[in-house]
Structure 1
Amino acid sequence: MSVIIKRGTTIPTESSNVYHTLEDNQKMMNIDIFEGERPQTKNNHLLGEFQMTNLPPMPRGQVNIKVTLKVDADGLLEVTAENLATKDKKSITITAEAGRLSEDQVQEMIKEAERHADSDKKEAERLETRNRLESHLYHVGQTLDENNDWIDPEELKAAVDLVDETKGWLERNPDGETSEFSHMHSEVDAMVGPIMRGLYESRARDGGAGVDEEL
């Protein structure tokens, strides 16, 4: 869960974040609005939800949705999502009476967050490490596919097989440990790193476009 408006912010206020699609040709995005102190949505209070639909068919990460939260002086919350490419917008309004937490409930959630601070931090690190690995696999796979003519066939097959195997492991082990995700990331880098460096050098010699050295 990402925080758009932090606790204690003076109202009226307005703040935005931009979110990206997570899959190729993703057709819709759920916009869920939570109130709470914990990093995972399951431990917070759902205020409202809606969907951005009819997203244009594009590769993962290339459709950008700007979500804006605006709170007026009376505590009225307006949530707007805008497709930055098409300018399509959707919004909902959440009143102070419509399911918002009372002050006592807010204070209890703060205490709950303090009690679970250490475990929440570890879980946030685990999820971040998993997401980094997932994103890394996507970009490595994309680069291998786009540059397959420049890579030794045997090296290419070995790299593609490892990427596919690691993706499969991720799907089977969504609750894996931080150390496991880090180990998988290192294994992919150990094989793919030399291939990418060789690819970069080959294309540079031939005057072609370079590749992302961070891969």
Structure 2
Amino acid sequence: MRIAGSTALVTGAGRGLGATLVEALLARGAATVYAGARDPRDAENKDPRVIPLRLDVTDPASVRGAAERAGDVDLLINNAGIAGNGSLLTGDPERARAELETNFWGPVTVLRAFAPVLARNGGGAVVNVLSALSWLTSPLTGSYSASKAAAWSFTGSARAELRGQGTQVVGVHLGYMDTDMVAHLDVPKIAPEDVARQTLDAVEDGGEEVLADLPSERAKVALSGKPAGLEL
């Protein structure tokens, strides 16, 4: 689909990759960008095409309200995410559940609400921001990896289910990205601007999967090997 003239919604748009995606959409000529955030003040923008939208992806009522307000959307980007619990064996189980609520059930809830909207508006496209940790894991990322693996599986089933209504489904995988979430880690990181560029390129080119960096490329290859090859 063409970004120019489109109406997009980005979840988690208040900072990081979400805020970068908003700017990238504007640069490509999007007509309207709904910037979803729990506090819409975090997503305010001087460009009049940006509409801050109260949206908590873990709250079904909030999601339903957003779908009613943004009934003209033809490009949905599920970007909101959290991390930080660690091991599923020794970490806080409530924090692990919070990761699953945001990283897995969040995209499910949002897409359930917006799939009919996309259908009414010609099919359009949906992007799920995933991770190389959809495939790789370690004790330090056990719960986050599980949430992103579930989101990856959902992305595949949604792609098959929505193909009939003409909706393109794109899964985006990447390693560490230079945002607040991993600011404390001294590791190579991809720039969010690069991820946004590759993501929107895939939308416009009819792509289904983005491997944004070398870690995600290597992780995809490792899936065909032994289980130990998927451990960090």
Q: TM-score, normalised by structure 1?
A: 0.24
TM-score normalised per structure 2? 0.23
Structure of greater relative contact order (alpha carbons < 8 Å, 6+ residues apart): 2
Whose radius of gyration is greater, 1 or 2?
Answer: 1
Task: Give the structure with the larger helix fraction.
Answer: 2
Q: Which structure shows the higher strand fraction?
A: 1
